[in-house]
Amino acid sequence: MAEELLGCWELVSSEGFDEYMKGIGVSYATRKAAGFLKPVVTISKNGEKWSIKTVSAFTTTDLSFTINELFDENTADDRKCKTIVTLEDGKLIQLQKWDGKESTITREVKNGQMITICIFGDVKCNRVYQREKPK
């Protein structure tokens, strides 16, 4: 159920993120800086409108969308994408297309953790988030 995704999530582990960023064209300096970040992702929903806000010491992005509707996305690494987010089996699947390339970012909850899988070509990145504890 996608409602499980709603809330605040803190990054606890990441595998293959540098390779993924390199694949999509992120500069060396930006990749090295981003590799040390522990972003907090907040997923919310208001009616049909979803929001994925990612906050780190480096940047903040706020993605607002309606499921199954194509929209323009300006990514944190400054790619201009045509993006669509679908909902399948409780997973949010974000498909980004730009300059003849495409990437898929899948978010789902497993065992109380948000698992984010980023795929570009044959490069796969796994990022694991724990639900943020109330302060």
The residue type of 49 is K
Sheet with 60-66, strands from edge to edge, namely 60-66, 49-55, 40-46, 7-15, 123-131, 113-120, 101-110, 91-98, 80-88, 71-74
- Asked whether residue 134 carries a pLDDT value surpassing 80, the answer given is no
Q: Tell me the pLDDT of the chain averaged across its residues.
A: 94
- Asked whether residue 133 carries a pLDDT value surpassing 80, the answer given is no
Dihedral, 6, 11, 13, 14 alpha carbons, nearest 10? 90
Q: What is the pLDDT of residues 26-46, one digit of tens each?
A: 999 889 888 888 999 999 999
